[in-house]
Structures are given as C-alpha cells and as structure tokens.
C-alpha cells in the first residue's frame, strides 16, 4: 500500500484507538472509587489529553506498536488495590479488542452490501471510495488487535505487567518492578526494532484477524 495513503488512513485510527484505550483505564479506575483520572482531565476522548508524541511516532513508523500518556491513578482508593490495578490494566486492551470486533463487523457489512452493488457503484464512480473505506476498517482491525496484544505483554510499563502482578503472589512483584523505569521501554524498543516483538504477537494478531475477517 502507498505509504502516504496508509498514513492518512492510520492517523484517525491511531487517535481514536489510543484515546479510547487510555479513557477506559481512567474510567475503570474512576468506577472503582478513584477520582484522580477525572481531576486530571483524563476522562475524555479528546486525543490531546492522551497522546504521547514518542509513542504516536513509534506507532506511525511501525504501524503495529505504540503508546499514549499513562492515566494517573491512585490504587489506594480501591477496596482491593491489587485486584483493582489488574482490572484497570485490563480495561485498556479490552477496549482495543472491542474496537477490533466493531470495526471488523463494519467491514463485513461493507463487503456484504458492496458485493451486490459494486458494479453500480463503479459505474457511478464510487468504486474506489468503497475500497478505501474497506481498507480503512481493515487497518483499524489490525491496529487495535496489535495494540491489544502488545499491551498485554508482561513487560513494564505495559498493562500486562500489572495484570501479571495481580495474578502472581506479591513476592514476585520485586522481579517485575526491576524492569520499571527506562529498562522496560528500552527492551520493548529493542524487541520491536529487531522484529522479535512482531514474531511474538504477530501470530496472535493474524489468527484473530482471520477469525474476524
């Protein structure tokens, strides 16, 4: 696909998908009794409140991986901080998987209707428009599946590390926390640059993509 063309389709998907991902983290924390996300102005779908310049650039360049600004939360407000952190962490990837399913459904509807009327649309000059819309939703499915599985990796600062800490006994927390700070992000960027990251989550993305579309 033409790079410029793909980028034009990618940007709106990027903005909405990352914004919903972070919004759901904040909303889940808020519903568990934490007022921090609301007080910090993060209970919004406005991309300007959520986007991280570097994370957005990485997503545009890789078309697979990226991140937004973490939503500030305070687990001390939760009745069960350990379980609460796990639920809040699951909310972000869960939102991306939900979006992938919705976008896939829309793409299937487009195929269903365009298959019977494609000739008429082509004659009317709208054939390329239908194809562009379908490619947009295909890309949206891939991006959201990639974001969902990427964030489930158990490497700080990704959601998967907090989910793992909620599953494992507390004595294992110190081992996961050793990767917090710059070390975890450096490891992720290195894995992404070498292609190892996609070799891990790529089969998962492709399998679910095949089921959805």
SS3 of 53-79: the string is HHHHHHHHHHCCCCCECCCCCCHHHCC
22 in active site: yes
Q: 């990837």: which residue's tokens?
A: 93
The DSSP annotation for 140-155 comes to HHHHHHHHHHHHTSSS
From the candidates 22, 67, 165, 201, give the one annotated as an active-site residue.
22
Q: How far apart are CA 197 and CA 88, in angstroms?
A: 24
Q: What are phi and psi of 79, to 5 degrees?
A: -65, -40
Write the CB contacts of 206 (distance below 8 Å, at least 6 apart in sequence). Answer: none
Question: Which tokens go with 75?
Answer: 């687990």
> What sign for the dihedral angle of Cα 40, 46, 47, 48?
negative
- Structure letter (DSSP) for residue 34: -
Write the CB contacts of 204 (distance below 8 Å, at least 6 apart in sequence). Answer: 145, 149
Task: Kindly list the catalytic residues.
Answer: 22
């Amino acid at each position: 696909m033409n790079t410029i063309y793909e980028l034009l389709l990618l940007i709106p998907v990027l903005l909405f998908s990352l914004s919903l991902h972070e919004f759901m983290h904040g909303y889940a924390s808020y519903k568990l009794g934490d007022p921090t996300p609301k007080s910090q102005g993060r209970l919004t779908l406005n991309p300007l409140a959520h986007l991280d310049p570097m994370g957005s650039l990485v997503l545009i360049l890789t078309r697979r991986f990226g991140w937004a600004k973490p939503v500030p939360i305070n687990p001390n407000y939760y009745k069960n901080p350990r379980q609460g952190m796990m639920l809040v962490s699951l909310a972000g990837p869960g939102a991306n998987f939900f979006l992938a399913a919705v976008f896939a459904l829309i793409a299937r509807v487009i195929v269903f209707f365009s298959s019977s009327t494609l000739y008429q649309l082509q004659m009317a000059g709208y054939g390329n428009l239908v194809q562009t819309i379908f490619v947009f939703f295909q890309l949206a499915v891939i991006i959201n599946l990639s974001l969902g599985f990427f964030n489930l990796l158990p490497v700080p600062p990704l959601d998967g590390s907090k989910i793992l800490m909620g599953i494992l006994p507390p004595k294992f927390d110190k081992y996961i926390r050793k990767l917090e700070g710059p070390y975890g992000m450096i490891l992720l960027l290195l894995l992404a640059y070498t292609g190892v990251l996609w070799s891990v989550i790529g089969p998962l993305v492709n399998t679910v993509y095949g089921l959805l579309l």
